Amino acid sequence: MVMQVVFLLVSLFTVACAFMVVTHRNLFSSALFLVGTFFGVAALYVLLEAEFLAVAQVLIYVGAIATLIVFAIMLTRGMMSGRTSPRNEQAVWAGLGSIVLGVVFLYLVVYRVNWPVVEKAVPPDTIERLGASLVGHYLIPFELASVLLLAALIGAVLIAREKEF
């Protein structure tokens, strides 16, 4: 009962922040609401007893990605000066279409998908299992991801270095 109430409050907060991200006119405030959304998702992970994932979410999304987004907003000239409207002339038809699509998807997700319901408790050594599977079962995707990150790092340094030649 208590968990239901907490879950409802947290998801309300997350969805409200996400809604404000899309509809707010000031771009910087949208970025801040995005940070709020990330925190809400981290709280949902805590409710699911996946604490490692929650802390990793805060570390990666709030600490790195949100910072990068805010940096990009600040360094773009003219992004902050005008108050742009998030709507255009096709707002009505687009709204109708997205509501219809949303209802269809919700129906499919809630009633047509076989959601697995697990009654077992969460094992206490999730971190050890995560580490073991990262270097055991999922070794190749792990190494490929690090190669991808290395390529991105080299590309970023190459683009941003001073042209002194």
Partner 1 sequence: MNPLDPRILGDWWNTWLHSTGLAEPWIVFINALVVAVIMLGLGLTSVLFAVWLERKVAARVQDRLGPNRVGPYGLVQTVADALKLLTKEDITPDAAERVSYNLAPGLAVFAVLMLLMVIPFGPGLIAADVNIGVLYLVAMGSIGIMSILMAGWSSNNKYALLGGFRAVAQLLSYEIPMILAMSVPVIFAGTMKMSGLVEAQANWRWFGIVMPAAFILYFLAALAENERTPFDLLEADSEIVAGYHIEYSGMKFAWFFLAFFLNTLILSAVSTTLFLGGWQGPFVDQVPLLGIIYFFIKASIMVFVFMWIRATFPRLRIDQMMAFAWKVLVPLGLVLVLVAAVFVKLPLAPLARDLLLFVTNLVVLAVTLGLLGRHLRREAQRFSARRLATSQS
Q: Are 7 and 47 in contact (CB under 8 A)?
A: yes
The single residue among 17, 35, 41, 44 that binds partner 1, judged by CB under 8 A, is 35
52 binds partner 1 (CB under 8 A): yes
Interacting positions 100-139 with partner 1 (CB under 8 A): 124, 126-127
* CB closer to partner 1, 16 vs 62: 62
Please state the closest distance from residue 2 (CB atom) to partner 1, in A.
4
- Report which of 117, 125, 119, 130 is spatially closest to residue 53, judged by C-alpha positions: 130
In angstroms, the CA 92 to CA 53 distance is 39
Q: Burial letters for 86-99: b for 16+ Cβ neighbours within 10 Å, e otherwise?
A: eeeeeeeeeeeeee
Q: Does 142 help bind partner 1 (rule: CB under 8 A)?
A: no
Give the residue among 31, 32, 35, 36 at the shortest CA–CA distance from 11: 36
From 8, 15, 47, 59, residue interacting with partner 1 (rule: CB under 8 A): 59
Which of 47, 74, 99, 154 binds partner 1 (CB under 8 A)? It is: 74
User: From the list 10, 17, 43, 66, which residue makes contact with partner 1 (rule: CB under 8 A)?
Assistant: 66
Q: Which range binds partner 1 by CB under 8 A, 70-78, 83-91, 108-116, 144-152?
A: 70-78
- CA 86 to CA 56: how far, in whole Å? 32
**Segments in 24-138 forming alpha helices (H):** 27-47, 51-57, 67-75, 91-107, 126-135
Site for partner 1, rule CB under 8 A: 2, 26, 28-29, 32, 35, 51-52, 55-56, 58-59, 62-64, 66-67, 70-71, 74, 124, 126-127
